[in-house]
Amino acid sequence: MLPMSISNLNAAEQTFTFSADVSMKWFDNNLAWNKTEYDDIENVTISAAYVWTPSVIIPNGIDNLVPTSVQSPGIQSTGEARLLFLESFKTSCQIDITLYPFDQQRCSILFTPVNSYTLGIQKTGSFIEFLPTFFIENSEWDLVDVLANVVDVQMEHISSVASFEFLLKRKSMFYVVSIIFPMALLSLLNACVFLLPADSGEKMSYLISIFVSYAVFMNFVNDSIPKSGDVCRLSVYLTLILCQSCLAIITTMATLNVRNNQFLFQTKTDAQPANAKLNSNSTARLHVMCASKTRRADHVFFGMFLFLALMSLLVFCV
């Protein structure tokens, strides 16, 4: 088999589509002749309707289980026959998107003989180095390796199965630049809310703006995530940073509420006209102490949310 191009790998339909040139060779003594008796003719091409040709089926095929573009076989004077067919294959493939978008997939095509003959492969193992120079690469997947192997099976009328396994690696740079990096920046901005002074009155509007940005961005991201029953790492990461945004809003609301309650309590306890000057000084000191505690709490929360934002990225490393 000589791969020509990788067309598609569909995670939702669990299918793998590619085109390849397949060459089949066999020996038939009944087809041999003495070339000196026939004007030194060494090879001929005969219609497949007049000679025996090996029939194969593709057990994991989707649309066609039998190759349809079979050409007329070429026959040598020694009795060696060769059959070529160039076809677009569509096979079933068990796709695991757990590591998406840093995943690798293994998809294979199987050839099974029909007429109880033994099917073999001229060269087993990896043959990625034999790819043609005109091989058409896929925009989303890199072809890492192609492995050929013959599997012996103990089944009636079937002695062996030829397997060609494709190792594919997803090109992840697009997802890093357009999805992961922007979402990581937004998660870092969540932590920066605790650097804003509480008196500015912009903390909640700042967090709501980030949360709305999450919602808008999630609509774009949802179209790029493969539709499958499995949960991928990217979905887990997006869920984590969405939870961080909600937690930042709740934490900010709680800290602002505690701060306002302290000011209200101090205002009520200091409203005594007999000691106006003393109360004024104590109010100022309490205000400074309260502001100092608020700043320390904000610094702690900033460090905590910054740590959570960075730890969320470890989802792709586990």
Highest mean pLDDT among 212-221, 273-282, 287-296: 212-221
Q: Which of 46-55, 105-114, 117-126, 262-271 has the lowest mean pLDDT?
A: 262-271
Q: What is the mean pLDDT of the chain?
A: 84
CA atoms within 13 A on the CB side of 100: 20
Q: Which residue is it, tokens 């043959």?
A: 127
How is residue 37 written in tokens? Answer: 């008796």
Per-residue pLDDT, averaged over 21-50, amounts to: 88
According to the model, what pLDDT value does residue 276 have?
A: 47
Which pTM was predicted?
0.80
Q: What angle do CA 89, 132, 163 make, to 5 degrees?
A: 40
Token code pair at residue 43: 């090879």
As a whole number, mean pLDDT of residues 13-21 equals 92
Banded pLDDT at 76 (limits 50, 70, 90): very high
Alpha helices in the chain (DSSP H): 173-175, 181-192, 203-224, 233-269, 276-312
Q: What is the pLDDT of residues 246-285, one digit of tens each?
A: 999 998 888 887 777 665 555 555 545 545 444 555 555 6
3-state secondary structure (DSSP) of residue 182? helix
Q: How much is the pLDDT for 147?
A: 93
